[in-house]
Structure 1
């Protein structure tokens, strides 16, 4: 379904379509956005204010760009989706996969001894678990850029050096003074249960053409991805991962381990009134060079729309669309990741994050996704209680910086 605006452009809302065509339409929309914004900026420079019609058109064009980007993402996900069960005939666990399919379709439990106990469901075949993880990586923006560790236990504990040992240069025959020991801290990442409960009719399950592994992956991955992304951004750590925005924050000038540093815009709920891009440049260089080379921006769609209007001193737009259909938009030369769970711009909000999330945030996946078949609770539907265990938290407090839309 598409909504047409009065500029002759369309807001894409559905999947499908040729990727090259979608990318071409996206590029056309961005060129129109730039022309409109240049006109708006010219009016502000001449008269101190812009025509309300231009402001409205710019907002609509922002929605057009967002719609085209969403359509591109969905089309790429559809194109990259492989089949599962049809490829499993010659694999070592093919017998288990067939037994798992029988369990899902008819409730037969024979030959499933390698799964978990019947009262807790059965572990999905490895290919299905891998497909669920792959789809979540595509849909969950934080998972796509964070560090990921797979574990077999309930808690992953990681020692980390807060301050390294003292070092120095000495001559060949000079004495070697005793160095101080490194300061160590332990970070703990408990895994907690994430669940979804897709439903199917018995007629659907009886269809011989149904690929139950792909069906389960399709049904649960979007629900899993949405829930875990919220937790990775703002989770409080109670029965869920702890999000990076839940960490204690401190002004960058007073940064210390265990806290995330931030820079303030100096304006409550807004960017600076003049030279707005300067604070963003400062945020980039608040990050050490070792982190900066792999850094990404993280913000939601509305914040991205506001920053799209910014230019540098030479009149170039700081936001740039992807150079190819399967690429990412960039901001100030760094990849931009859109996470809808980031807060909108408001008084004292932390609406923009910048950092090396591969080193800064760790996601812990416990091996195994289990499925419990329930044909009784919602007749005539069969419910599938599907669970996986996930943990997460900050791994390096120096690798992520925040922009605070506040006075200080």
Structure 2
């Protein structure tokens, strides 16, 4: 089967460092070396001669590709991560909330925040207390999470002000059909609805600071707090969006009931089998990837993304189409994503490794298929007592998630059927 895969020339966007560009060029060069070594390995296999050294060479280059890709992702993330403040000359004057929050973080003075939240008639504070961060910081935390959380970057996201979001959906629509211009119009049945519920669960982090850090007026504490919690929040919610059980955390798309795609029904997620337990099929292994793509309806397929971890990528990186073109391709730009059979690929380390019966590859339109709900507001409670001489900042946000369209996501199952 032929696939339309173009190996685009690199395009460098302004704002990326020379280091990112160098890593990008090195990644593409290493991929060329990988292709050459793998082609040589396949030629040896065709002649039914094993070459252990050649196998080791291919694996070594494959690992180098992973390391370079990971380093490029980190540099691209650093370059694209939104800044909290510009230089002092261009920095806008702090809002009343931001000034009060800064005083609370540095010294524990909470009167200003208390007055602001009283005037705003804020509700829904956490049981252990704490104060809402300024809207500037709340916005930047959300933007940073979208940059570094793989599923959040491709899923649908909705901000809510309550602890529960309910989404109605139609289980049976009104009767429809074609009819003549003068023919009688029969009465149609009324649509029936059901509701999906997405509760927002509490996620917390507890960064610690020294008195020296808090006393240093040159330190932007908003930036420090955001930098301390964004990676922790992203890691925790990333695991939950993939495999969370829905108990005090979001429900991951791998935690729903799965069925063979031929028997799919609403409420389940369809699967396509590779044809071999814990592996791709020995003959035409990439056929199952093609079957996975076409298991998705065209309306979802045009915006679909592959989701898998890097170890699974390493396994499919050796696959080629019938014309000899590799199915996995490196990013077309320094800030782009790798692609598989022309579709973007999201690196998600929380996806399971290939094993017997594992669901190691997902494919779908996640913006329509998976919904993340963020309760507006991040809260911070200053604790100078529990870990003297350090000051702890108990930081919480509320987030939920779950599948909202069961027809928009398909899974590849590493099993015979």
Question: TM tier, shorter chain?
Answer: over 0.9
- Cα distance between partner residues in 1 of 2:28 and 2:242: 30
TM-superposed CA distance for 1:17, in Å, is 6.0
| Equivalent position of 1:10 in the other structure | none
| Equivalent position of 2:338 in the other structure | 329
- Cα distance between partner residues in 2 of 1:206 and 1:16: 33
Residue-by-residue CA offset, 1:112-139 (whole Å, 9 max, x unaligned): 1234669511111111111111111111
With 385-394 and 100-109 compared, the bigger mean Cα shift is at 100-109
- The answer (yes or no) to whether the contact 1:234–1:242 under 8 Å persists in 2 is yes
RMSD, aligned α-carbons:
1.7
Residues 123/34 of structure 1: CA separation in 2 closer, same or farther (3 Å cut):
same
Answering whether residue 77 of structure 2 is matched by residue 77 of structure 1, we say: yes
- The answer (yes or no) to whether the contact 2:17–2:79 under 8 Å persists in 1 is no
Answering whether residue 77 of structure 2 is matched by residue 68 of structure 1, we say: no
With 93-102 and 242-251 compared, the bigger mean Cα shift is at 93-102
Residue-by-residue CA offset, 1:199-226 (whole Å, 9 max, x unaligned): 0100111011110111000000000000
- The answer (yes or no) to whether the contact 1:241–1:390 under 8 Å persists in 2 is yes
TM-superposed CA distance for 1:163, in Å, is 3.4
Spell out the pairing of 1:259-278 with structure 2 (5 A cutoff): 259-278=268-287
- Cα distance between partner residues in 1 of 2:416 and 2:138: 47
Spell out the pairing of 1:1-400 with structure 2 (5 A cutoff): 18-47=19-48, 50-85=50-85, 90=92, 94-112=95-113, 113-115=115-117, 120-400=129-409
Q: How many pairs were matched up?
A: 392
| Equivalent position of 1:7 in the other structure | none
- The answer (yes or no) to whether the contact 1:196–1:386 under 8 Å persists in 2 is yes
TM-superposed CA distance for 1:80, in Å, is 2.5
TM-superposed CA distance for 1:82, in Å, is 4.0
- Cα distance between partner residues in 2 of 1:312 and 1:83: 43
- Cα distance between partner residues in 2 of 1:83 and 1:301: 29
TM-superposed CA distance for 1:190, in Å, is 0.4
| Equivalent position of 1:5 in the other structure | none
Q: Secondary structure at the match of 1:241?
A: coil
- The answer (yes or no) to whether the contact 2:306–2:345 under 8 Å persists in 1 is yes
- The answer (yes or no) to whether the contact 1:16–1:71 under 8 Å persists in 2 is no
With 172-181 and 243-252 compared, the bigger mean Cα shift is at 172-181
Q: Which runs of 5+ in 2 are unaligned?
A: 1-15
TM-superposed CA distance for 1:183, in Å, is 3.4
TM-superposed CA distance for 1:109, in Å, is 1.1
TM-superposed CA distance for 1:162, in Å, is 2.9
TM-superposed CA distance for 1:180, in Å, is 2.4
- The answer (yes or no) to whether the contact 1:85–1:213 under 8 Å persists in 2 is no
Q: Which runs of 5+ in 1 are unaligned?
A: 1-14
Q: Secondary structure at the match of 1:44?
A: helix
| Equivalent position of 2:13 in the other structure | none
Q: Provide the TM-score with structure 2 as the length reference.
A: 0.91
- Cα distance between partner residues in 2 of 1:401 and 1:20: 35
Q: Provide the TM-score with structure 1 as the length reference.
A: 0.93
- Cα distance between partner residues in 2 of 1:17 and 1:218: 23
